[in-house]
Each structure stands twice: as C-alpha cells, then as structure tokens.
C-alpha cells in the first residue's frame, strides 16, 4: 500500500514537471534569450539578440515604460541632435585655406556679409548631391571644361592675400552661420558676359542681391 502511494505521488510530480514544457511559448532557450535581453536592457547596449531582433537603447526603453494610463511622464531622454550642415563635417586645414582664398578672391571688396555669403555658397555645394563632396573639389570643379569660379580660371585666386575679414567670414560660415537662403550660385552681373547671365536668369531661381553679387538657386 505504501509503495503504491509513493509510486502515484512520483508520477504526479513527473506529470506536473512535464506540463511546464507544454506551455505555449515556453522553452529553456527562450527563457535564456529573455534573460539576455533583460541584461542588455539594464546596461543600455544597442545590439541584436540571437533571433536578429533589434534591441533599442536603454534610454528609449525607459521612456516607453514611463508612458502609462496616466499618459507620458516628464522623463529625461536624449533627443537626436539636428546640426547645421556646415557643422556636420570636419574640414581639414587645407580645405579651410582654400575657402578663405576663394572668399577673398570673389568678395575681397564686399562687406562682411558679402564675404560670408560666398563661403555659404561653397558649403551649400559641398552639402548638395549635385556637387562634389569637399571644399577643394567644389572650388576647383570643372563642368564641361568650364571652371566654376572665375578667379580660379583667371589665376587671381592664387595671387590674393587673404584678409582677416575673409578669415572671420569663413569662421562664421564653418560655425554654422548661413544667410544664403540655400543659394548654390552667385554672379556679378556687371562683370559677367550676357550669355552667362542669360543662363542664370533662365535656368535658375533668383533669390536676392547683396553688394555686387546676385544669388541664385
């Protein structure tokens, strides 16, 4: 009688133990994955689990957890920093000197904002997909055999002495100051030939005039 009772109890325990493996979604591997995910959550690593599911950062998860029935709570979260295009690049000293020289060559007789605008146009081109990706490539670009900046074509670019005003204008531009309204072109109408200005007038959108330059996009 005693042995029979022990046998029945043993079988009952085995049945209860086996039932855990029959619960939908339960598996030792999944339990291990959940523990790993919890560890990742705690230390804030951005990565992937063994199932290739992305794990977002701890700070984002905390913000999601803070939203309950009472609505979102005041929780400190990191926001994606939106930077000025000019600030999103690291420029080498050589490129900075090229920018200073082209600003002096193109706008040496202009006021401070006139110099800044020339620097803005060059940096706008660096950021635009239709133009090269570096300051040097933009300044020395040739399109269909035509040099983009007349001082480069005439050689005056190589002869100028860069003023402190031009250097300061370039510094302002590199720090993110942009008053160009997105201009990608500029021209001095009184010095340009009629054919060139006709192309500007017909193919581009006029933005504004500052000093001796007209700016287009």
Position 193 scores a pLDDT of 87
Domains in the chain (CATH in brackets) are 2-65 (no CATH), 91-216 (1.10.10.2520)
Position 185 scores a pLDDT of 97
106 pLDDT higher than 90: yes
How high does pLDDT run on average in the chain? 74
Position 119 scores a pLDDT of 98
Helix (H, G, I), strand (E, B) or coil at 147: strand
Helices of type H across 53-111: 58-65, 93-107
Position 186 scores a pLDDT of 97
40/55 Cα distance (integer angstroms): 8
Contact indicator for 87, 175 with CB cutoff of 8 Å:
yes
In this prediction, residue 196 has a pLDDT band, given cuts at 50, 70 and 90, of: confident
173 pLDDT higher than 50: yes
Q: Per the confidence metrics, is the pTM higher than 0.85?
A: no
Average pLDDT score over residue span 2-29: 56
Which residues, at least 6 apart from 184, have a Cβ–Cβ distance to it below 8 Å? Answer: 121, 124, 125, 128, 130, 131, 216, 217
197 pLDDT higher than 70: yes
166 pLDDT higher than 80: yes
154 pLDDT higher than 60: yes
Dihedrals phi, psi of 92, to nearest 5 degrees = -75, 155
Position 146 scores a pLDDT of 87
What are the tokens at 12? 């009952």
């Amino acid at each position: 009688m005693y042995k029979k009772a022990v046998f029945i109890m043993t079988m009952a325990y085995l049945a209860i133990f086996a039932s855990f493996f029959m619960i939908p979604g339960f598996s030792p591997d999944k339990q291990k994955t959940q523990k790993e995910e919890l560890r990742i959550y705690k230390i804030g690593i951005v990565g992937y689990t063994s199932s290739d599911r992305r794990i977002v950062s701890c700070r984002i998860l905390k913000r999601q957890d803070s939203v309950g029935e009472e609505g979102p709570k005041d929780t400190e979260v990191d926001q994606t920093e939106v930077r000025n295009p000019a600030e999103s690049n690291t420029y080498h000293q050589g490129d900075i000197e090229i920018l200073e020289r082209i600003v002096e060559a193109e706008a040496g007789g202009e006021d401070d904002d006139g110099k800044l605008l020339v620097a803005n146009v060059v940096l706008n081109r660096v950021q635009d997909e239709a133009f090269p990706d570096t300051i040097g490539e933009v300044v020395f670009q040739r399109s269909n055999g035509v040099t983009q900046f007349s001082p480069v074509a005439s050689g005056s670019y190589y002869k100028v002495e860069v003023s402190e005003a031009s250097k300061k204008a370039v510094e302002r531009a590199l720090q993110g100051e942009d008053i160009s309204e997105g201009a990608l072109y500029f021209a001095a109408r009184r010095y340009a030939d009629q054919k060139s200005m006709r192309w500007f007038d017909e193919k581009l959108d006029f933005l504004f005039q500052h000093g001796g330059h007209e700016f287009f996009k």
